[in-house]
Amino acid sequence: MKNKTNPKSDYTGLSYAMLNLTIGCPNVYEALTHLINKSIQSGVYPSSFKTSLIHPIPDCENPNTPADFRPISIQPNLSKLFERCIYKQLSQYITEKEILNPRQFGFRSFHTTEHAMLALTQYLYDNIEEGKFVIVNNFPGPPKGF
């Protein structure tokens, strides 16, 4: 979790600092683990985590109408922890099972825009050296072993 020491509580009264201090307790850790695993197994997200507090933030200096505000949704801290745990499990599974296309660089750990540019450059050089015409319309992905 980011801001582990933030003492500001959400609308449920739970803060990151409180979560950080109690997560190491066996009873709390086991209860949260059980809740998360049960949710994954059943495919049901706890309804109490679906509620957010909406804060209107002004978009301009002197807001006069509702259109002058943008909504900011404040989720419960426990919901954020829950989502982070599920994200980590899904990411690990997707990586281990090699589900994503090798051409997918965005939103993946250790796959930056620099990697995408290197893979594209390598593809261009390889094909030009073989005397082929290269059109970068349907990029086939990084070379093997990349």
Same domain, 54 and 111: no
What pLDDT does residue 41 have? Answer: 92
Same domain, 15 and 81: yes
Same domain, 41 and 78: yes
The total domain count for the chain is: 2
User: What CA–CA distance (Å, rounded) separates 86 from 36?
Assistant: 8
Same domain, 61 and 108: no
User: What CA–CA distance (Å, rounded) separates 48 from 81?
Assistant: 14
What pLDDT does residue 138 have? Answer: 60
What pLDDT does residue 144 have? Answer: 63
| CB 81 within 8 Å of CB 68 | no
| CB 20 within 8 Å of CB 5 | yes
User: What CA–CA distance (Å, rounded) separates 117 from 100?
Assistant: 18
Same domain, 24 and 82: yes
What pLDDT does residue 143 have? Answer: 62
Residue 94: what residue type? I
Residue 24, class by beta-carbon neighbours within 10 Å (0-12 exposed, 13-18 middle, 19+ buried)?
Answer: exposed
Same domain, 120 and 61: no
What pLDDT does residue 1 have? Answer: 67
Same domain, 46 and 92: yes
Cα distances (Å, whole numbers) of residue 127 to 3, 103, 141, 142, 144: 48, 17, 13, 13, 14
Same domain, 31 and 43: yes
Same domain, 113 and 58: no
Same domain, 108 and 72: no
pTM: 0.67
What pLDDT does residue 139 have? Answer: 58
| Residue 143 per-residue DSSP state | P
Can you give the residue range of the structural domain that contains 80? 1-99
Same domain, 110 and 68: no
Same domain, 93 and 105: no
What residues in the chain have per-residue pLDDT under 50? none
What pLDDT does residue 34 have? Answer: 94
